[in-house]
Amino acid sequence: MSAGSADVAELGVAVKRYLFFLSHVRGADEEWVAMFFRDLCSALAARTGLSQGAVGLRGDPASREPAFDLMRQAGALVALHTPQYATRSYCSAEWEFFRQRREVYWSRTGRPADAVIPVTWVPPAAGSEPAPPWTDALRVAAPAYERDGLLQLLRLGSRYRVVYQQVIQALVDRLAVAQNELPDLPGFAFTGSPAAAADPVGRGRELLDVVVASAASDELPAERRSREFYGASPLDWSPYSPERPRSLVNLVEETAADLDFPSRVVPLDGAAGGTGALSSARERFVVLLVDAWTATLRRQQQLLAELDGRLPGSTAVLEPRSSGDLESAEHTRALDDALDQALPRFRQAGNADQLRRWHLSDAEQFTTALRRALVAAQNDAMKKQANDEPADVPAGSFNSFPQLGRFSA
């Protein structure tokens, strides 16, 4: 936790200098979140006459701690609402902080304050049970925003530029009006638990490492002409586009969160300590998401070969290959050969092994395979604890096997 978080309760010691704090699920859609943040700050600065660097704040995208030291400097919360927002402890803490402060302001003054503004970033999936309406949600007279959410407006660029600007202006209107509504409240004490909220992994539970073996669009082999499945970063890989235009990372994080698995997603060449460190840490469970086209690249082949040496039970390998990707279908044999060479041990298992699944043709099939792999890993960890407990580990110790998640079925 940051040093400023220790004295988060005493708002009276800080001077509010910013109009809003941006709360969002971190580690997902970072490029788009950063673009939206810049655009909103620019428009708000133009409206208020303040400098662009003095209107908005956001937490460190790499941190999973609630940014209390920044929040107490902001007058309002702009929350990018997704189906996963409430599953992130730091998002819940950030929301609750501003909600409580708004309620204290109302109780002291009898006046409301427009200090919590939910923005639809990603709407609930089609066919899912509708969520309760968010109080004071941003409303824009544009069906595309209500139906598809702000992230999709950004992704589609010029097609929805006018609607996107409507969303920005609607936010600017509310933030500019709320500029002087919510003063600092001396003596206000946040009654949440910063320590608990900042520890999503919890004691005795292992962090799930998800390694994405893909490439940026400008790093692909010349034979790969269909670049619409890729982006500026390997983490932008979207193998089921346009069926599911969001990145695979989003789908993985959603699935892991549903099973209460704390996860960390990294590209193949950006794994902490390198792939060699992952290979040596045999007790850590790793999910490898591999693009068959990336397996044709020499540099990636070397990194994949290092991971291929891990114990089979400690690694799940999932290979998305959309049935709508006609170019991949044309190169099936060459792509399979590349995978055989890069991951010979894992490929031997075929599809009979729950932890190794190949040619996953759509997002639903991928999600099912991921869920089964995580549950299988949890069950295997529990079985090893019961049958092969080291002599120096006390019976019942929570550190004796990797507790990956809360559910095992």
Lowest mean pLDDT among 161-170, 269-278, 316-325: 269-278
How distant is the alpha carbon of residue 172 from its chain centre? 26
Residue 101 contacts residue 11 (beta carbons within 8 Å)? yes
Percent of the chain having pLDDT more than 70? 71
pLDDT of 213 reads 92
User: Average pLDDT of the chain?
Assistant: 76
CA dist 251 → 63, 70, 240, 265 (Å): 20, 29, 11, 11
CA dist 241 → 25, 234, 324 (Å): 22, 15, 9
pLDDT digits (tens, 9 = 90+) for 301-355: 888 988 888 776 778 899 999 999 999 999 999 999 999 999 998 888 655 567 8
Residue 60 contacts residue 23 (beta carbons within 8 Å)? no
Most confident of 18-32, 35-49, 172-186, 275-289: 35-49
CA separation for the pair 309, 316 (Å, rounded) = 13
Q: For the residues 189-211, what does the mean pLDDT come to?
A: 50
Q: Which of 152, 154, 120 is nearest to 136 (CA)?
A: 120
Q: Is 352 exposed, middle or buried (0-12, 13-18, 19+ CB in 10 A)?
A: exposed
Q: In sequence order, what are the beta bridge partners of 211?
A: 266, 288
Residue of 396 and 258 predicted with greater confidence: 258
Q: Has residue 91 got a pLDDT over 50?
A: yes
pLDDT of 64 reads 79
Give the full edge-to-edge strand order of the sheet including 18-23. 56-58, 18-23, 74-81, 116-120
Give me the sign of the Cα torsion angle 29, 32, 36, 37: positive
Q: Has residue 90 got a pLDDT over 90?
A: no
Task: Tabulate helix, strand, coil % of the chain (nearest 5).
Answer: 45, 10, 40
Lowest mean pLDDT among 99-103, 146-150, 326-330: 99-103
Consecutive H or E run containing 274: helix 274-280
pLDDT digits (tens, 9 = 90+) for 168-184: 999 999 998 766 555 56
pLDDT of 383 reads 44
- Locate 72 and state its tokens: 């107490």
pLDDT of 113 reads 83
- Locate 356 and state its tokens: 């190794």
Per-residue burial over 39-60, b if 16 or more Cβ lie within 10 Å, else e, is bbbebbbebeebeeeebbbbbe
Q: End-to-end CA distance of the chain: give it in Å, rounded.
A: 33
Instruction: DSSP for 167-221, please give it.
Output: HHHHHHHHHHHGGGTS---TT----S-HHHHT-SS-TT-PPEEEEEE---GGGS-
pLDDT of 260 reads 62
CA separation for the pair 280, 282 (Å, rounded) = 5
Give me the sign of the Cα torsion angle 154, 252, 324, 236: positive
CA separation for the pair 86, 88 (Å, rounded) = 6
pLDDT of 2 reads 36
Spell out the domains of the chain, with CATH numbers in brackets. Answer: 3-197 (3.40.50), 208-387 (3.40.50)
